Structure 1
Amino acid sequence: MDKNTLISSFGKWVSPINIQKLSEQVKELKQDYYTKKLTTEAYIKLLLVAQLLEFKSLEEMSDALVDEDLQKALGFESISASQLSRKNNQIHPLILANLFLDLVWKIQRYHYKNGKNMPLKIIDSSTLPLNLTHYKWAKFRKTKAGVKLHLRLVFMDKDTVYPEKAVITTAKEHDRNQLEVLVDDQEAMYVFDRGYVDYERFDRMTDDGYFFVSRLKKNAVIREVYTFSLPDDCHVLSDKMVYIGTTQNRTENVFRLLEVMDTKGNLLRFITNRFDLKPEEISDIYRSRWAIELFFKWLKQHVEIKHFYGMSETAIQNQIFLALITYCLHVLIQLEMKSKKSLLRITRWLKRALWKPAYVWLRKFDGRASP
């Protein structure tokens, strides 16, 4: 009998989670001592349902347990919002961070198996606003609070994009401070925006063998060393070898500066330490940065990170990691089924077939109708 006949679509979706490894870490961190009903495993499953169905509150989760299929998946018939709140504030974020990284590793195995080329790794951040009255620990302006998700996104191609590393801080943390944390792989090409411009770090990255493309600020001072000739049909306006910065604060290494015009007629300046690529390739690499903007947009529209279930720093971090885990589970089923279907369509099918046998959901990937 097909194994997918025996499990629900939800069971199939969460199957990449290594329960044994999860249990070992829960035991090590003593997370389920004296827990009778809401174990860490049950908590994760319930919160993943909440992310998938975009529940707005713990009360909505509690009410959802009238569903007998959800009861069966969790192993209990009811749970109060107060019990959920306590667990949400007690779960160590390290557990969910490690679960996220384990799923990332499983995604990467598909790439190694298929011999993919050097990936682009796009770095950016997104600020998630919070109510200052309830989140005073996250204050960053006189009347505002918020947290910031610093993210490294792997861009293999337009169909394969996934988060690889995440750091969660309060919103007042400057993006530049996380650059060294997010840059740790010499077998990649890093792409980031003007918020990460730091001449000293650019020198260190170059000396340490890391490659990058960034957008340079308009007021940046440059000293030209050499101008490369360009073919007539090249859309790049100029390609130069330069030092960046003033006499008092100038890079030690020479960099490559390209100027291009965007579709709105604005002049863009790209800086890189790659001299072996064609100018159009450098331009196209930076334009791939749109993928992380789309990723943040997807998160805010299709999982629940706008309504937080708790007010502590722990609860906020747990919910963000659960959102990233949700995305990774979607990517894994997409890779397993070798599907070009969008994550949005895959998610819609899953929601409709959540408690039906897994084959009902999986048949949609090859276009066959459900029985």
Structure 2
Amino acid sequence: MDKDTLFSAFGKWVAPINPNIIPNWQSTTTLDRYVKKLDTLVFLYIFIEAQLEKRKGLRSIMRKLEHDEEFQKQLGIASISASQLSRKNNQLDPEVLQAILCNLITQLHRDARPVSGRIGTVKIIDSSTISVCLQRYKWATFRKTKAGVKLHLRVAFADPDHVYPDKAVVTPARPADRSQKDVLIDESDVTYLMDRGYLDYGKYDSYCERGIRFVSRLKDNAVVEEVEELSVNTDSDIIRDVKVVLGKAHKRMQHPFV
């Protein structure tokens, strides 16, 4: 399929995908070896359409292709079975998809401009736990009766029109969210927003030393020590401005927050 001939709404969705990434993988791996119809790029386009249209399963995807001649022309195939889709899904190397994602992120970074020159780009980090079959995913330790994976996601907010996934890490569900902080928080020219699951006073001290800006929710039992009262303009909406230190005893932070 030649993406340059796509003029439909769907074609505009997939146009930013760099199809040259696939041949690069084909030259060094068994990707698409002996494949005559359902190659990786066609498979990717099929599942992008399925995601956009919120299709319920493989048979729904199959029926869409069977009854849509325009979609058939765009893909270059007339039909596909649910079993073929399932086999391809099981065989596909996730690193190929990671390479495509990284390429799309690079394009977005190039086109997006920060919402503010003072705080730069805002990056939000959070995680989602996904339950999976214990028999098939024994490596994904979670609970006695089921397995689970955790998607740690970093989303970049450049401005209201540029919000996009920036980095993703998949781990077993059991490790705590904060175990991936070093992977997700690695730049000093952005402001990070995170939930209380990433709370770690030792890391916060490290961020202060490295000049990494961040905003985090605190736990209800957090110890907050006021160390200095700062002046506030009389015409300001701010009620109080206080310099504080978090934690106590050996967990007390070295750097105050303003």
TM over 0.5: yes
Instruction: Output the CA distance in 2 between the equivalents of 1:127 and 1:225.
Output: 39
The percent of aligned pairs where both chains have the same amino acid is 46
Question: Counterpart amino acid of 1:88?
Answer: N
> What is the Cα-based RMSD across aligned positions, in Å?
2.6
In structure 2, the CA distance between the partners of 1:236 and 1:245, relative to structure 1 (3 Å rule), is: same
Q: Aligned with 1:156: secondary structure?
A: strand
What is the aligned partner in structure 2 of residue 90 from structure 1?
Answer: 91
Alpha-carbon contact 2:115-2:159 (below 8 Å) kept: no
Task: Return the TM-score normalized by structure 1.
Answer: 0.62
Higher RCO (CA 8 Å, separation ≥ 6 residues): 1
What is the aligned partner in structure 1 of residue 9 from structure 2?
Answer: 9
Question: Counterpart amino acid of 1:140?
Answer: F
Instruction: Output the CA distance in 2 between the equivalents of 1:133 and 1:202.
Output: 39
Instruction: Output the CA distance in 2 between the equivalents of 1:182 and 1:250.
Output: 24
Q: What per-residue deviation string (whole Å, max 9, x for no partner) do you get for residues 88-125 of structure 1?
A: 0111111111211211211222225x996311111112
Q: Aligned with 1:141: secondary structure?
A: coil
Taking the TM superposition and a 5 Å limit, the aligned residue runs for 1:126-145 are 126-130=128-132, 136-145=138-147
Instruction: Output the CA distance in 2 between the equivalents of 1:11 and 1:158.
Output: 24
Question: Counterpart amino acid of 1:165?
Answer: K
What is the aligned partner in structure 1 of residue 124 from structure 2?
Answer: 122
Alpha-carbon contact 1:229-1:239 (below 8 Å) kept: yes
The answer as to 2:30 corresponding to 1:20 is no
How far is the alpha carbon of 1:199 from its aligned partner? Answer: 0.8
What is the aligned partner in structure 2 of residue 108 from structure 1?
Answer: 109
What is the aligned partner in structure 2 of residue 307 from structure 1?
Answer: none
The answer as to 2:91 corresponding to 1:76 is no
Q: What per-residue deviation string (whole Å, max 9, x for no partner) do you get for residues 221-240 of structure 1?
A: 23332121334555545332
What is the aligned partner in structure 2 of residue 165 from structure 1?
Answer: 167
What is the aligned partner in structure 2 of residue 54 from structure 1?
Answer: 54
Task: Return the TM-score normalized by structure 2.
Answer: 0.86
Gaps of 5+ in 1: 257-371
Question: Counterpart amino acid of 2:205?
Answer: D
Q: Aligned with 1:248: secondary structure?
A: helix
Gaps of 5+ in 2: none
Alpha-carbon contact 2:121-2:158 (below 8 Å) kept: yes
Q: What per-residue deviation string (whole Å, max 9, x for no partner) do you get for residues 326-348 of structure 1?
A: xxxxxxxxxxxxxxxxxxxxxxx
Q: What per-residue deviation string (whole Å, max 9, x for no partner) do you get for residues 153-198 of structure 1?
A: 1122333322111112232231101111111221101111211110
Q: What per-residue deviation string (whole Å, max 9, x for no partner) do you get for residues 58-100 of structure 1?
A: 1222222212222222222222212211110111111111211
Question: Counterpart amino acid of 1:219?
Answer: N
Question: Counterpart amino acid of 2:37?
Answer: K
Instruction: Output the CA distance in 2 between the equivalents of 1:54 and 1:176.
Output: 32
In structure 2, the CA distance between the partners of 1:4 and 1:142, relative to structure 1 (3 Å rule), is: closer
Instruction: Output the CA distance in 2 between the equivalents of 1:132 and 1:21.
Output: 33
How far is the alpha carbon of 1:44 from its aligned partner? Answer: 0.6
Q: What per-residue deviation string (whole Å, max 9, x for no partner) do you get for residues 348-369 of structure 1?
A: xxxxxxxxxxxxxxxxxxxxxx
Instruction: Output the CA distance in 2 between the equivalents of 1:6 and 1:220.
Output: 55
Instruction: Output the CA distance in 1 between the equivalents of 2:115 and 2:246.
Output: 37
Q: Aligned with 2:158: secondary structure?
A: strand
Taking the TM superposition and a 5 Å limit, the aligned residue runs for 1:249-260 are 249-256=251-258
Q: What per-residue deviation string (whole Å, max 9, x for no partner) do you get for residues 233-289 of structure 1?
A: 555453322322222222222223xxxxxxxxxxxxxxxxxxxxxxxxxxxxxxxxx
Q: Post-superposition, which runs of at least 4 consecutive aligned residues in structure 1 deviate over 6 A?
A: 3-6
